[in-house]
Amino acid sequence: MKSKYPKTEIRPFEETLHGQRMVDNYRWLETESEERSAWIDLQNKLVDKLVLDDPGREKFSKRFDELFNYDRTNFPTATLSRIFYTRIKRGEKHASLYMRSWPHGEEQILIDINDFSSQGNISLGSYMPTRDGKLLAYRLSKDGSDWTHLYILDVDTGRIFDEIPRLAYTSTVWLPDNSSFIYSRSTDPDNLSKNGMKVFLHKLGTDWRQDEMIFGHGLTETDLPNVSAISRDGLHAIISVQHGLTVNELFYADLSADEIRFDSLTENNPDRFFADIHRGVLYIRTSNKAPNYRVCRIDLDGSPPLLSKWETIVPEGDNVLNGLGLMGDRMFVKQSIDVKTHTFIYSLGGKKIGELEYPGIGNGSLPYGEEDVDAVFVYYSSPFQPGETYQYDLQQNTLTKFTESNLKINTDAYVTEQVFFKSFDDTVVPMFIVRHRDIELNGSNPAILTGYGGFGSSYLPFFSVSTVFWLEQGGIYAFANLRGGGEYGESWHQAGMLGNKQNVFDDFIAAGEALIGERPVRLVDEDHFSVRRYSSRKHLGILGGSNGGLLTGAALVQRPDLWGAVISNVPLLDMLRFHLTQGGKYWMSEYGNPDKAEDFEWLLSYSPYHNVKEGSNFPPAFLKTSLHDDRGTNSLHAFKMAARLQAANVSDNPIILRTMTNVGHGTGRTTQMNIDEQTEIFLFMVKHLM
């Protein structure tokens, strides 16, 4: 039966963009009003009726409560005398911050987040202790907003003696003597969206409004500067300036000089640079002249260590170098070999001497911590193992479990397999498939396909509550490693950005065809392609969030016939207006600038909102958004897309919209909010795919 949707008034807004007449019937949904609020409420009530009014709701909610609501401790931050870590206990809304003296001190709670709000709309953001562990900078967020309030805490007394309001997209880096820290903010923190970010030096106990700006002249509104490294002696500092979120440059300053001046290291060659300072030497992992990255070094002697003087100590190879860590007399280089994590150990001079062995095939971190007190840790997770922390012995190269999850899952019956398929231009694309090992590949299995394909982010195998739940229902879960990500280096990223973005959607559509047997696949240990029918069109769903929400939105309008159900979570869908929101302006380096004629053409060609065809037979689609999403994924995208899809759809399949309140892009959600969200997502998927 065709769904009866809330009435959405058409108010044509006409404009001419680059010589083209454009009409936006739902522009009014971008502006807050009583009428829009009433419309949102009616859309939410429709979701309640079509999804939550289901006899399986209580059962699903109970299982998600078991999967989400358990005691767990997150990765620690180590100092010379203490370790700090967040922990959430069963029944709590958010994680709180704890501390204990290293190695055998008694645990102490520093920030009990439950004291801040009975509604649970205050959450802890990033935190940074001084190296001696005596002071702590931490940030709190309200309603999941990217805007945060910074506090400085005296760990011994519990006294807060400094704070800075309204910060976003910034890190806090302490100077070694604890007297001050470096951070980034707008020159007008009440109007961040219209003022570029600068770098400031804050001296404790002084008015932050009088902080000295030490870097930022000449930066544009889409530049994001942050300190990436300070030497332990406090003499050297490196600032990274991101031009959007795609390329960056490095700047160096001798902090012992009478006047702090940052000079360019990269000599006007924007690329991807990641810097660290270790024992007076600057180490850089870069894609400059090396799409798969190389590792360089140069001694710091007070003069600018220019790019032309860098010494390559780990050259580019066939596999992407996607991480670099320095600890003691060793260098840890993380590599992705066919999207599997390997971390190799090198001498500081660049000689390979071993490998860090993770517990299995999954996603392992580099070692982090304080080698001076043997407080070095590694984080590891896999599709079947929740994230756990291991203490790492530098000398013995061994891992010992430091924290253990009390979430016990029987995964003996499940298997993760890697396959490869050819996209429409014959590019070979990898995909991980998680399933029951004895499942019959007869084309009738319910399956969910997900992906990301953007910003050079690699989609490695990881633990997911939703994956576990779906497997328990008898489903298959597939993760496609699309172009636009970083799985095969910067060339793989560039093949899916700007004017090449359609490649990402093509890869995803090809992945869907591979899962239903319309495109052959090759198993990782085979040398030939063959058809494997994991699922079928009516049983295949797709799910993605943020840039992945754009992905599923594009796949919906480009191939509505291929999917049994679609979920687009906190998406961006109007690609001509994403850059007008607070965080969206930083994404133009990835997608393009709609104000430029050339970029406008390719953005318009795939923009999901602009490519909805009237009279289409759309599959069931579920759009989810948040009123407090500060980024380019502002709720305007889902609002307008839902209205247009509901008007254009001629099938009986529902097009529904859930608007969440008191949360942001992905932060600020309480445990119960996560339970409720996953419950309704999988009620929707089970109803339409099984």
Which residues partner with 82 through β-bridges?
A: 101
Class of domain 71-168: mainly beta
Averaged over 488-512, what is the pLDDT?
97
Helix (H) or strand (E) holding 36: helix 34-47
**Residue 670 confidence class, pLDDT cut points 50, 70, 90:** confident
Strands 540-545 and 565-569: parallel
Which residues partner with 139 through β-bridges?
A: 150
Statement: residue 668 has pLDDT above 80: no
Residue 247's nearest CA partner among 272, 275, 267, 274 is 272
Domains 1-68+554-690 and 409-535 share a fold: yes
pLDDT at 258: 83
The catalytic residue among 94, 236, 278, 665 is 665
Statement: residue 620 has pLDDT above 90: yes
Statement: residue 1 has pLDDT above 60: no
Averaged over 328-354, what is the pLDDT?
95
pLDDT at 104: 92
Residue 549's nearest CA partner among 643, 667, 657, 460 is 657
Q: Which of 82-86, 303-307, 517-521, 619-623 shows the lowest mean pLDDT across its residues?
A: 303-307
Residue with the bigger pLDDT between 4 and 39: it is: 39
Statement: residue 2 has pLDDT above 80: no
Residue with the bigger pLDDT between 186 and 498: it is: 498
Class of domain 1-68+554-690: alpha beta
Statement: residue 256 has pLDDT above 70: yes
Determine the longest span between alpha carbons in the chain, in angstroms: 76
Which tens digits make up the pLDDT trace of 648-659?
Answer: 999 999 999 999
Burial of 666 (0-12, 13-18, 19+ CB in 10 A): middle
pLDDT at 437: 92
Q: Is 546 a catalytic residue?
A: yes
pLDDT at 67: 93
Averaged over 402-421, what is the pLDDT?
88
Which residues partner with 102 through β-bridges?
A: none
Tokens of 9: 């008034």
pLDDT at 630: 64
Q: Decide which of 3.30.1150.10, 3.40.50.1820, 2.30.42.10, 3.10.450.50 is the CATH code for 409-535.
A: 3.40.50.1820
Q: What does pLDDT average to over the chain?
A: 93
Statement: residue 313 has pLDDT above 60: yes
Q: Best-predicted range by mean pLDDT among 142-146, 256-260, 505-509?
A: 505-509
Which tens digits make up the pLDDT trace of 419-440?
Answer: 999 999 999 999 999 999 999 9
Q: Is the peptide bond before 560 cis (omega within 30 degrees of 0)?
A: no
Residue with the bigger pLDDT between 92 and 564: it is: 564
CA distance 360 to 341: 10
Cβ contacts of residue 37 below 8 Å, gap of 6+? none
**Residue 227 confidence class, pLDDT cut points 50, 70, 90:** very high
Statement: residue 406 has pLDDT above 90: no
Q: Percentage helix, strand, coil, to 5, in the chain?
A: 20, 35, 40
pLDDT at 190: 72
pTM over 0.85: yes
Which tens digits make up the pLDDT trace of 524-556?
Answer: 989 999 999 999 999 999 999 999 999 999 999
The catalytic residue among 546, 568, 607, 635 is 546
SS3 per residue for 591-648: HCCCCCHHHHHHHHHHCHHHHCCCCECCCCEEEEEECCCCCCCCCHHHHHHHHHHHHH
Domain ranges of the chain: 1-68+554-690, 71-168, 409-535
Statement: residue 204 has pLDDT above 60: yes
Statement: residue 195 has pLDDT above 80: no
pLDDT at 13: 97
**Residue 144 confidence class, pLDDT cut points 50, 70, 90:** confident
pLDDT at 110: 96
Which tens digits make up the pLDDT trace of 549-594?
Answer: 999 999 999 999 999 999 999 999 999 999 988 788 889 999 999 9
Q: Which of 45-49, 265-269, 274-278, 310-314 shows the lowest mean pLDDT across its residues?
A: 265-269
pLDDT at 192: 58
Q: Is 665 a catalytic residue?
A: yes
